[in-house]
Structure 1
Amino acid sequence: MIANHKGEIPVVILLISFIAGIAGGIYFNFIFGWLTVLLLLYGISFAVLGLGYAQFKIYQNRWLGGFLIHPILFLLGWAAATGHNELNSTDHFAKSSAQYLAVTVTNEPRVKGDLVSFTAAAKHSINVGKTTSVSGNILITIKDDLAKKLFYGEELLIPAKFAAVDPPFNPGEFNYKQYLANHNIHCQAFLYPGQYVIIKAGQGNPVIAYALTLRQKLVRKFQADMCDTNAIAVASTLILGYKADLSNDILQAYSKTGTIHILSVSGGHVAIIYLLLSWLMRFLNSSQRGRILKALIIITLIWAYSLLTGFSPAVCRAAIMLSLIITGKTYAQYINTLNILAVSAFAMLLYDPFLTTDVGFQLSYLAVAGLVIFQPIVYNWFHFSNWFGDKIWMACSVSIAAQVITFPLSAYYFHQFPVYFLMSNLLIAIPVAAILYIGIALLLLPQMPFVSQGLGYVLESCIVFMNKVLAYIEQAPYASIGKIWLTTSEYVLLYAITLSAFYFIYSKKAGYIKAALAGVLLFSLSIGIKHLKIDNSQSITFLNLRKHSGIVFKNGRQGVVLTDVADTDKNFQYAIQPGLDSNRITNYKIYNFGNDIRAKYLLKHQGIVQFLDKKLLLLNQSSPLQSIPQHFNIDYLFTANNMFTDSTLMTRSKMMIIDGSNTEKHVKQLIMKAELQNIKYYNLRRNKSLTVLSK
């Protein structure tokens, strides 16, 4: 449903100004003193002109309303974002000293191995017997088996020992600090047995507490009626949004085939339920009262489903969106769906402005907008007189529209593109609907020996079949294009190209295709220049792997990784692999520090390394050192694992690299030595990796 004029989508136009203000408030987090004054000034001016519309003949200057309303919304968005940022609160718990904190668990604790993690809201701080009300969120991780029994809404007393969340230390590493900041969490605490006490329970929202309790009960029902652990995990995730038991292999299969969206209970699942309910109650369409009754029943049942899923953010988002769409369609003969979409976004962003940074929020709204705008265009490409062919093409057009509009965002965040997404989505469309309907029936019916077990068997069979199909597609040649790393400008260009191309197909105006071609040219130039730089760059990157060590030698697209971390280790996948991918190091070899290496651009014997024109001396437990030639000038002295460092070696080096595997005490000793002898050094412990260029 493309709007022919901006007057058809006024809420969308207004939403843009509001989001721009939120973005300004988030990324420039400061409250300028004139914000309130400007808001009042613009607001009063807008009200006066509105009341004097006829008297002042405002209709002769239509631009005046927009001149006032857009700054108001921009400033309102800025105020909402800065006001929502907990660090701007004077009573934030991190701004005052305390011995203890009283905190309330605000989400369902996640168990991973012997660790239990959850977010909590600080309520009181206690210092020398004085209790003070505070605010702020904190991420708590507890290494204790008893903590696995913690539940939403329980209030705990913990020591006020917390730290700021670490930023990403290595190239391409996931920015967990920013991720948590986008959820208004800036501090974290790690606790052991005996360091926390449960004060009382039931301090959270009773509806959410009931929803989470109900979801756990329903997950146990799946476990009672099904046998396959992977099938149980998929059923719990797909139907209830409970992801705790999902394996990495299953996640990878769904991700590489472009079907990961079905494992996030969101708009698609709610839409399937809506279609079934709408079809079952189609007999109510004959009168206005019947349509109102139908809308009330469907909206009630959709929110009941949200309750079953524990009120997960994605489901609540979809429920709000669909509730507004159903209401709008019930009471209006014609209403642009994009306006309803924008109203729901307004409502959610007023509640939490930081949702603009949430990938799920962005993908949900983009996917729905893509279906509204692009799906009719794609559907009109072909016409089938055969009913079955038409329905298949309808499903294809939905998948293409959703994939096209979300591709730039997915590539930007997840760095891959599923080649066979159309086939995958078509093949699992029926199994997903069957799984959803059968699963909900199983959960709603009371436990009956033969009926429940029969439904469980059918549900398990559908999931196993779907998993096998996706596993087969995942293993097919060129199933996905990976290692896509886009800059922000390239990401924006991709959207400009996509929108221009589709608008040209829709309107046939030459200006849009010219804009698309110009975007393609700029995008190609950006990619070409980036690849040219990569192919002609040589560098050494000293990684911060905390208790481990790692050095990456890059020579164009070739590389050598020197590390004590195995490539199958999660630390390698999290901290080293993203840097290799983002720097386009496609041909690399991994060596341990104890290995000797002979390559065209790198030689290593014991602890001595020659990389192009740079010389390194490695001092660690795995690189024995017998003697150093007198003429050997050291560019970089790399010291790790608390190895003794001779002062003469330090003076022969241009820079000393202190690895993060050294203890805090040893690091202080090395820094003291370096500063006494005026030697340049770089400390990797709790600092970002260091990249130095060669040649």
Structure 2
Amino acid sequence: MKGNPFVRYVGALIAGIVLYGQLPDWPQLPLMALFVGVCLLGWGFYQQVNERVKPIQTASGMGGLLILLALGWGITYQHTASNESTNIIHLTDTLTAYEGVVAAQPEERAKTFRVELAIRRGNWRDQWQPLSGRVIVYLDKVNGASIRQAMPRYGEVWLVSGAPRPIDPPLNPGEFDYKRYLSYRNIYHQQYLRTFERAILGLEPPSQITKLATIVNRWADSVFTHQVGSRSEYGIVNAMILGVRDDLDTELYRAYSAAGAVHILSVSGLHVGILFAVLTYLLSFLIKRPRGKLMMAFLQLTILWFYALVTGFSPPVLRSAAMFSLLIVANAMGRQQQLANTLGASAFFILCFDPYAVFSAGFQLSYLAVGGISGWQSPLYQSITFRYTWANRLWELTAVALVAQLITFPLGVFYFHQFPTYFLLANPLVIVLSEILLPLAMAMLAFSWVPYLNDVLGWLLHKVAWILNYAVTQTGQLPGAAWDGLWLSQTAMGLIYAVIFAGAALILTRNRAYLWVTCVAALLLAGVTIWGDYQQAHQQRLAVHFLPHRTAVSLTAGHRSQLVTDLDRTDTRSFDFYLKNTFGQWGVSALTIVNTSRKETDRHSLGNIPGYYQAREYGLWVWQGKTLLLVNKLTGRNRWRLPAAVDYLIIRRNALQDWNQLTGRVVAEHIIFDDSNKTPLTDRLLSEAKVRNIACYSVRQMGAYVADLR
């Protein structure tokens, strides 16, 4: 640690960033840290004034770290757009229109274009005033227009009518927090637009460098479109090189996920690392020549940053390019390589420019993987030797995959809730093919102007992409390819990392102290796991989930759950986004899903749920002494023969138009509106309920309704 000062510096900076994230309204803490740090630093210098040999001072070191902690808090405050008085988040008046510029490269979706607008001014109270902030706009595609005509351009200035709305927080337990994810990018609002609701005023790119990157990215896309034929191979090349996954087939993406190779589909530090390793190998012959190191460094930096330009300056690629640039410069200058210190330095400077990168899964996984590989791969690789060169090469790649998977799997399970069973089978092959595909794609772009050669390179690129897709698809189809539905709390993840790091330190140093740390962390992890499983085994929950324009009601007992929904069975995307994580968080291992559609086959399937009766106007569910009434239709002509009182009344499909419709029909202890009701109708009924003192709940406004029935 003494030889890696930047590791300490970045640790203190990260502590300040996290402190702001947890306590943004407590400026007293960083001010106190700054005051104490300056005092300790000053006291340390005062004690060394008359010393010829300056000893290491613990007080001075602690003072410097406290100053960096305060710096981290201050940088994060400065980079938080909501602290600006002109930000749209502080606007209390009704915004009728605003002017903004397209501040990032637009993304194509199935029915819309996703555009990031930077607001410059807004209109409220019938006058234009300065306004700032960023908005995610989903613009409808123009029917009949080609992609080139309809695709918005970076730097376009738009006049938009209407007002964006705040991004919703997660409305289901365990659901991905899209609001927090965008807040780290200083985006707090979104808006859905039809083409006539915006007008293009001109073209004023905020950054000429970003403009160049978008032009190069589009040019590279056109080259790949022309040279790589089939959609599957074009999709994988586009994803790996340009970071665009719109052309990937859903089944192909699932195969990559099941094989543990989904990380290859997002431009990230892995791609930059592979490109760096290949360039180092190919250009190693220059080292022995005069000024060969400088020439090698120049070529490496040129190609790495050209790749960053091709990706449209993707943030993960920028971070990794900066990290490897420091490595290249240090090597060219003949400086002693201390990878841990270089990693710390790159992370330090990156976080000074973008402090919220520390909360990014890509940032965390990249630095963990590179740090783990640099520290643990060599001892593991040297522990076993083989007679044949090819076997040693295969073991080297396997060691890389083992170390990378070991150090990142807790974080991967925490974020993505799955573990690839056959990662040892897929990852070495994926790495080898990526080492061929990435340089080949760069060469094809570089020589795209050379006749015949570009066709040969395009044919080779297509074949390599086909082999990669075939290998991953076959691996993903193996039985039990993905261990799905995993869930880790932050406490459990921290304890797993304590076991991993303490265990690795024990193996490398043979220090018994690490044995005790490993044992204590393992015992605590076992206790946390057993307690969590005990709570899940004894849980009894009713949940009315938020599902856009749909119904989803579940009853959970222990590790078993029954879900009644009108979601189409083919709509797996909605289930995965809105509901899957909820049942994963609750530890549900046996989920029975029954559809409430009017089809006869679906009505017969309702027999899978005991105590559930389905009619045209309602569904009655009796479960462990509780009665749930799901109302589909309320008319004066039909009178139900039902219990006079129910525990839970769930209103569906705009069944309730007026509160008087319930008079003399049914009395409920809890009334819940699901999201199959129209929002204006629900809002009106909720406002009337306040006047009538009727207690009710709307999942659209308040999130999923979850009741503990124990």
TM bin (shorter chain)? over 0.9
Matching residue of 1:608: 620
Q: For each residue in 1:161-204, what CA deviation from the matched residue of structure 2 results, as whole angstroms up to 9, or x when unmatched? A: 01110011112221111111121111112211211111111322
Letter matched to residue 19 of structure 1? I
- Aligned residue number for residue 196 of structure 2: 194
Partner of 1:76: 71
Deviates more, 1:205-214 or 1:282-291: 282-291
Contact map agreement 2:644 2:665 (CA 8 A) in 1: no
Aligned partner of 2:372 in structure 1 is 370
> How do residues 93-108 of structure 1 correspond to structure 2 at under 5 angstroms?
93-96=88-91, 97=93, 98-108=95-105
SS at match of 1:638: strand
Cα deviation, residue 340, structure 1: 0.6
User: Is the counterpart of residue 210 in structure 1 residue 200 in structure 2?
Assistant: no
After TM superposition, give the deviation of residue 231 of structure 1 in Å. 0.3
Query: Cα 1:526–1:625, aligned 2, differ >3 Å: closer, same or farther?
Result: farther
After the TM superposition, which residues 257-656 of structure 1 pair with which residues of structure 2 at under 5 Å, given as runs?
257-286=259-288, 289-447=291-449, 450-569=452-571, 570-593=573-596, 595=603, 597-598=606-607, 602-606=611-615, 607-621=619-633, 627-629=639-641, 632-644=644-656, 646-648=661-663, 652-656=667-671
SS of the equivalent of 1:270 reads helix
Closer, same or farther in 2 for the Cα pair 1:622/1:341, shift >3 Å?
farther
Distance in 2 (alpha carbons) for counterparts of 1:624 and 1:519: 64
Q: State how far apart, in whole Å, the 2-side matches of 1:324 and 1:305 are.
A: 17
Matched-pair contact (CA < 8 Å) for 1:416–1:481 = yes
Aligned residue identity for 1:108: Q
Residue matched to 1:120: 117
Name the residue aligned to 1:165: 167
C-alpha RMSD of the superposition: 2.7
> Alpha-carbon deviation of 1:427?
2.1
1:75 to 1:155, Cα distance in 2 relative to 1, 3 A:
same
2 CA distance for matches of 1:228 and 1:156? 36
Local SS of the residue matching 1:481: strand
Q: For residue 141 of structure 1, what is the aligned residue in structure 2?
A: 138
Instruction: Tell me the distance in 1 between the aligned counterparts of 2:307 and 2:662.
Output: 68
**Secondary structure of the structure 2 residue equivalent to 1:634:** strand
Three-state SS of the structure 2 residue aligned to 1:553 is: strand
Q: Are 2:71 and 1:109 equivalent residues in the alignment?
A: no
SS of 2:700's partner is coil
Q: Is the 8 A contact 2:41 2:64 kept in 1?
A: yes
Code of the residue aligned with 2:140 in structure 1: it is: K
Partners of 1:407 and 1:138 in 2: CA distance? 34
Partner letter of residue 18 of structure 1? L
Give TM-score scaled by structure 1 length: 0.93
d(CA) in 2 for partners of 1:320, 1:665: 50
**What is the CA distance between 1:521 and its match in structure 2?**
2.1
Write out per-residue CA displacement over residues 379-426 of structure 1, whole angstroms, 9 at most, x where no aligned residue: 133123432222221111111111111111100000111111111112
> Secondary structure, in 3 states, of the residue corresponding to 1:102?
strand
Structure-2 change in CA distance of 1:273 and 1:165 (3 Å): same
Residues 541-591 of structure 1 show CA distances to partners (whole Å, capped at 9, x for unaligned) of 011223211101112222221111123213222212222222232222222
Q: Which runs of 5 or more residues in structure 1 are unaligned? A: 1-5
Contact 1:154–1:204 (CA under 8 A) maintained in structure 2: no
Does the CA contact (< 8 Å) of 1:613 and 1:694 recur in 2?
Answer: no
* Corresponding position of 1:3: none
Residues 111 and 148 of structure 1 are in contact (CA less than 8 Å); yes or no, is this contact kept in structure 2?
Answer: no
Given the two structures, how large is their TM-score scaled by the length of structure 2?
0.91
Describe the superposition over 1:225-267 as per-residue Cα deviations: whole angstroms up to 9, x where unpaired: 2221110111122123333322322222222212222222333
User: Runs of 5+ in structure 2 lacking a partner?
Assistant: none
Q: Report deviation, 1:41.
A: 6.8
1:64 to 59, 68, 75: 59
1:689 aligns with 2:704: yes
Task: Determine the structure 2 residue equivalent to 1:680.
Answer: 695
C-alpha change, 1:389 and 1:561, in structure 2 (3 Å) is same
Q: Secondary structure at the match of 2:486?
A: coil
Q: How far apart, CA to CA, are the structure 1 residues paired with 2:466 and 2:105?
A: 28
How far residue 660 of structure 1 moved from its aligned partner, in angstroms, is 2.5
Could you tell me whether the CA contact under 8 Å between 1:651 and 1:677 is conserved in 2? no
Aligned partners of 2:162, 2:679: CA distance in 1, in Å?
22
The change in CA–CA distance for 1:625 and 1:536 in structure 2 (over 3 A counts) is farther
CA distance in 2, matches of 1:141, 1:687: 24
Separation in 2, partners of 1:630, 1:301: 74
State the shift of 1:503 in Å. Answer: 0.8
Return the alpha-carbon distance in structure 1 between the equivalents of residues 275 and 350 of structure 2. 22
Question: Once the two structures are aligned, what percentage of the paired residues are identical?
Answer: 26
